[in-house]
Amino acid sequence: MKHCAVEFVILSILAALSPSCRPQSHIQPQKHWTETDSETLWTTRYGNCDYGYYVLLGPGVVAHDTLPPSPNHGFLIALPEVTRTSFISSDEDRYIWADASYDAFDPGGSLEAITAEEVKFENGGQVIEERLTTLAGLRAHFVKTQSSSATSNSMDEMIVSLRSDIVYTIGLHTNAAHLLEDEKQFKSTVDGFRLSKLPAGECTN
């Protein structure tokens, strides 16, 4: 009888420790975005499950995105005030941007041809530097251009890569006077770029 009692106690303890008998903790994924009246603001981590990438943002850096139901392709970061939360647009003098889109220029085309079209579409400035590089392990193309006018001397840097007909682009728009300063934040953004699994259907960031 004593043996049976001890066995019963042991079985009771094991049952209590069984995962099926313990309260389950449901950990919700951390939300890195908030919506304002005009845009979506991302901090810590920008996510884009539709195009299979995310970007680790530096401390305090705010990435500006469109509001749903507008398509989520990428973001803008204000320069020099990367913590800025007021509205930003591509009409400004200094910013970093990221974009992912299916190749609309030449599906199945070469990276070099796609890069040339991207440069023409974005600014069409004079190419002053061009070289091969990598982006999150993907073969990529770096291009620096300059556009001069009577009132401005803008400088643009762009890294273009390709995966499964998706064109990934990270760019810097600035001017000659602030190029070296802004390149530091640009490099930090590029270093934070990561690839993720492409979705088989709808996904949630």
Residues 188-203: pLDDT tens digits?
999 999 999 988 777 8
- The distance in angstroms from the start CA to the end CA of the chain is 59
What confidence score (pLDDT) does residue 20 get?
43
Mean pLDDT of the 82-111 span: 89
Q: How confident is the model at residue 105 (pLDDT cuts 50, 70, 90)?
A: low
Question: Which pLDDT score is estimated for 89?
Answer: 93
Mean pLDDT of the region 175-179 = 94
Q: What is the mean pLDDT of residues 175-196?
A: 97
Q: Would you kindly state where each structural domain of the chain is located, as residue ranges?
A: 33-195
Place of tokens 């770029």: 193
Q: Which residues on neighbouring strands pair with residue 168, listed in sequence order?
A: 100, 161
Among 198, 202, 142, 136, smallest CA distance to 171 is for 142
The rounded mean pLDDT for the chain is 86
Q: pLDDT class for 151, splitting at 50, 70, 90?
A: low
State whether CATH 1.10.240.10 applies to domain 33-195.
no
pLDDT for the residue 117:
87
CB of 58 within 8 A of CB of 192? yes
* Token representation of residue 111: 């990276």
Report the pLDDT value the prediction gives residue 8, as an integer from 0 to 100. 45
The predicted model scores a pTM of 0.82
Q: Would you call 81 helix, strand, or coil by DSSP?
A: coil
- Per DSSP, helices labelled H in the chain are 2-17, 111-122, 179-191
